[in-house]
């Protein structure tokens, strides 16, 4: 894999706090080109902590976009990483409502042109789809990678609606461990981090209890994804849907290509599993994936 170190724009980065209407602040890291002209913003929004869990990937991907003239923004969801508040149900409305607020906040920054895109893999791709279904005006395009549009059908812990017992318990345990980790005192302060952490621990619920309490495709699952209740029809942004033949959610790509207008959707499926296709793992990329995302 060839890694570029020089770009058309010099870049800078900084950490920011994004305020939500209820006073909660989300932790964000922004990479921007050094230019006086406003530029489009790209948002990656998910619960995987930006200061450690996704940091290596973030430092490869976001500076690349910034070097090509975009403000590339990584935001931790409410109650995760250093973001304030308590964790929300990943299939509920709170997380994507926050995402819509983040998009409007970004569009209003003086360094943003007013146009916003989203991208992400797995939970980040799922968030992109769910937020796009609400059609916030500044959101112009999304890139969704290895993500489901229907978590009852194929979100890793279910397949065709059937519960995958081992995977369900493993994912639920991992998710619980993730949300139980403390914020970083370096970013939230030596005084506040413990209070934030205790509040999270008091409020967090094991996700498996909710998942298993909805064994059929009821309202919980229908509203969780974007496949039913006219969800695909609500998407107004352009969509690049990416999947791997060895990933259980690759049929999401086919459904999106089938249901969205041809001038607003492209699908890409290749011989990889649950990963970005530009990671340089065998058989290796045959196209410039990051370049494809900017087309």
Question: What gap in Å lies between CA 39 and CA 204, rounded to an integer?
Answer: 38
Answer whether residue 84 is part of any domain: yes
Q: What is the residue range of 125's domain?
A: 11-276
Quick one: which of 145, 150, 12 has its CA closest to 158? 150
Answer whether residue 150 is part of any domain: yes
Please, which residues have CB within 8 angstroms of residue 6's CB and are 6 or more apart in sequence? none
Answer whether residue 247 is part of any domain: yes
| Crossing angle of the two packed helices 94-107 and 123-132, in degrees rounded to 10 | 80
pLDDT at residue 2, as a whole number: 62
Answer whether residue 288 is part of any domain: no
pLDDT band at 118 (very low <50, low <70, confident <90, very high): very high
pLDDT digits (tens, 9 = 90+) for 186-233: 999 999 999 999 999 999 888 899 999 999 999 999 999 999 866 798
Distance (Å) of CA 2 to CA 94, 197, 263, 279: 39, 40, 32, 10
The CATH number of the domain holding residue 57 is 3.40.50.1820
pLDDT digits (tens, 9 = 90+) for 81-99: 999 999 988 899 999 999 9
What average pLDDT does range 271-282 have in this prediction? 85
Strand order in the sheet with 238-244: 11-19, 25-33, 71-76, 39-46, 112-121, 139-145, 238-244, 265-270
Question: What gap in Å lies between CA 9 and CA 34, rounded to an integer?
Answer: 7
Sign of the C-alpha dihedral computed for residues 126, 250, 54 and 119 taken in this order: negative
Answer whether residue 28 is part of any domain: yes
- Tokens standing for residue 92: 């509920």
Answer whether residue 287 is part of any domain: no
pLDDT band at 281 (very low <50, low <70, confident <90, very high): confident
- Tokens standing for residue 96: 């994507």
- Which residues are paired to 76 by β-bridges? 46
Total number of domains in the chain: 1
pLDDT at residue 103, as a whole number: 99
Length of the chain in residues, anyone? 295
pLDDT band at 247 (very low <50, low <70, confident <90, very high): very high
Answer whether residue 295 is part of any domain: no
Answer whether residue 4 is part of any domain: no
pLDDT at residue 230, as a whole number: 66
């Amino acid at each position: 894999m060839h890694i570029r170190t020089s770009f058309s724009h010099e870049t800078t980065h900084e950490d920011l706090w994004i305020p939500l209407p209820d006073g909660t602040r989300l932790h964000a890291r922004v990479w921007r080109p050094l230019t006086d002209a406003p530029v489009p913003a790209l948002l990656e929004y998910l619960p995987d902590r930006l200061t450690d869990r996704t940091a290596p990937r973030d430092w490869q991907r976001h500076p690349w976009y910034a070097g090509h003239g975009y403000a590339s923004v990584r935001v931790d969801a409410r109650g995760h990483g250093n973001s304030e508040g308590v964790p929300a149900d990943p299939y509920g409305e709170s997380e994507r409502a926050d995402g819509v607020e983040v998009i409007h906040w970004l569009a209003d920054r003086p360094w943003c042109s007013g146009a916003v895109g989203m991208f992400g893999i797995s939970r980040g791709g799922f968030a992109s789809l769910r937020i796009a279904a609400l059609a916030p005006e500044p959101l112009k395009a999304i890139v969704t990678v290895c993500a489901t549009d229907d978590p009852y059908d194929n979100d890793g812990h279910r397949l065709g609606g059937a519960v995958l017992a081992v995977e369900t318990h493993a994912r639920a345990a991992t998710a619980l461990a993730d949300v139980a980790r403390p914020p970083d005192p370096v970013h939230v302060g030596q005084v506040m981090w413990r209070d934030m952490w205790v509040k999270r621990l008091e409020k967090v619920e094991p996700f498996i209890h909710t998942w298993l309490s909805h064994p059929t495709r009821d309202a919980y699952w229908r509203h969780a994804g974007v496949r039913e209740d006219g969800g695909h029809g609500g998407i107004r942004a352009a969509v690049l849907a990416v999947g791997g033949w060895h990933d259980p959610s690759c049929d999401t790509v086919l459904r999106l290509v089938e249901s969205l207008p041809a001038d607003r959707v492209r699908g890409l499926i290749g011989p990889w599993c649950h990963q970005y296709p530009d990671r340089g793992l065998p058989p290796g990329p045959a196209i410039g994936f990051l370049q494809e995302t900017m087309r």
